[in-house]
Structure 1
Amino acid sequence: MAQPGSTPTSPRRGAGCLQSLLVLAVILGLGYGASKIFGDESSKSSPPSSSSSASDGKGGSWEIGDCGGPDPDDKPDGYRAFDCDESGATFEALEVKSASILPNAIQCPAGTDLIIQVSRVFGSGDGKKGSGIPTNTVCGRNLSGEHPGDAGAGGGQLVEGDCVSASAREIACASAGPGAFKVLGLVKEKTDCPGATTDPMQLMMALGRPYSVICGGKV
């Protein structure tokens, strides 16, 4: 992402130190779907796989509570750090993880509305997409009242309390039909599912994903 204009000099939680850390937001739709035989369809979703970048003049890094928002100089996917009380801020960092070459290995906490990969350019990089070195992954939560990543809301990464269709595609619990299930657990083996599980869904292997079975129960 291109280096935006100026960054506020009085950030709430170190946004000034983050002025040159520009990021690519990947809006989540990661309800690791499955076919009727529960073949993994997660490749159809949009995991963090690429990033924008800019020179990191102050050596800052993302921390929990830092904020960011869309970068007007790098549309449509570019994001940058903002002071949390600025009008351009749209999300807050719930958690900050190391970057990973395995998208499925990035597991954010419940309530994460979007996943953002941060890159850094050292030296005279131009800050354009793909020109930086991935450094962090930010689990972001919207500052607005819209939270698709909340359990049951139908968006974000799949978490306990979400609902899935009979083919293991994440759906909003409020609109779940007769063939839907509630996620009671995300585990490695079917035998690890809780007792209320009525439909353990075995997924095909996906590198880095920490679970292989969706424990489905009554909605």
Structure 2
Amino acid sequence: MVHPGSNVPPAPRRGGRRILPRLIILAVILGLGFAASQLFRHGSSSSSSSSSPSHKSGEWKVGDCGGPDPDDRPNGYTAFDCGASGATFTALDVQAASFMPDAIQCPAGTDLIIQVSISYGSKKSSGGGIPSKTVCGRNLSSSHPGDPGAGGGQLVKDDCVTSTAKEVPCASSGSGAYKVLALVKETSQCPSGTTEPMRLTMAIGRPYDVICAAKQ
């Protein structure tokens, strides 16, 4: 079909001048395909982040074990067999990644939260990578700061806080601390026994805005 305004080349030239552009286009397509294959060939490595730890592989399942990555200090983590000497935690839960840290709510007993990021390229660069999953980890040792009342991890029911909503260990908090009875969106949702409902500054993605607390 001839489009209006187009020039029709003489028949003898049809085989010569049109083949060269087609060969050039084919070479460009093959080149782009090869470049893409080289790019995604290195897509399994992840880069460490100064704000949250990273893992070298996006494949995590509940029950997997991991520990500090000796090649990605100080914040990198990698997978280990649970019986290996480098294993320090096990995955309690594996959730989707989020660019908003407050949107991640790990289960009670979580001692550390690891953001799994994927970076394209074989060389690691601090702060890079695309978040892919979040691992809620529990220490394999007897130290569990994420247990309710222990003073670490995410805030959960039965933790203790100060009057400024700062989490503290219940055992050493003193008389000025408050026990967390519930975490809700509205003050009206606090359970009976709440004497100190603490409304927090709004945070996008956080599943609660009020700490329902009572004197420790």
TM-score (norm 2): 0.74
Residues 63 and 204 of structure 1: CA distance in aligned 2, closer, same or farther (over 3 Å): same
The alignment yields a C-alpha RMSD, in angstroms, of: 2.1
Q: Distance in 2 between matches of 1:52 and 1:128?
A: 12
Residues 210 and 136 of structure 1: CA distance in aligned 2, closer, same or farther (over 3 Å): same
Contact 1:23 1:79 in 2 (8 A): no
Aligned to 1:155: 152
Amino acid at match of 1:149: G
Amino acid at match of 2:156: V
Q: How far apart are residue 90 of structure 1 and its match?
A: 0.3
> Which residue of the other structure, out of 61, 64, 83, is the alignment partner of 1:63?
61
Aligned to 2:129: 132
Aligned to 2:197: 200
Q: How far apart are residue 140 of structure 1 and its match?
A: 0.4
Q: How far apart are residue 214 of structure 1 and its match?
A: 0.3
Question: Sequence identity, in percent?
Answer: 62
Contact 1:110 1:149 in 2 (8 A): yes
Amino acid at match of 1:107: Q
Contact 1:52 1:131 in 2 (8 A): no
> Which residue of the other structure, out of 62, 76, 96, is the alignment partner of 2:94?
96
Q: Which has the higher helix share?
A: 2
Deviations 1:75-123 (CA, angstroms, capped at 9, x unpaired): 111111111110000010000011101110011010000000111234x
| 1:1-16 equivalent positions in 2, closer than 5 A | none
Q: How far apart are residue 168 of structure 1 and its match?
A: 1.1
Which has the higher relative contact order, 1 or 2, with Cα contacts under 8 A spaced 6 or more apart? 1
Contact 1:197 1:217 in 2 (8 A): yes
Q: Distance in 1 between matches of 2:163 and 2:53?
A: 34
Aligned to 1:105: 103
3-state secondary structure, aligned to 1:104: helix
Contact 2:47 2:118 in 1 (8 A): no
Residues 63 and 85 of structure 1: CA distance in aligned 2, closer, same or farther (over 3 Å): same
3-state secondary structure, aligned to 1:94: strand
Contact 1:23 1:119 in 2 (8 A): yes
Count of residues in Structure 1 that have an aligned counterpart in Structure 2 = 173
Confirm or deny that 1:209 pairs with 2:206: yes
Structure 1 unmatched ranges of 5 or more: 1-19, 27-48
3-state secondary structure, aligned to 2:156: coil
Q: Distance in 2 between matches of 1:218 and 1:198?
A: 7
3-state secondary structure, aligned to 2:132: strand
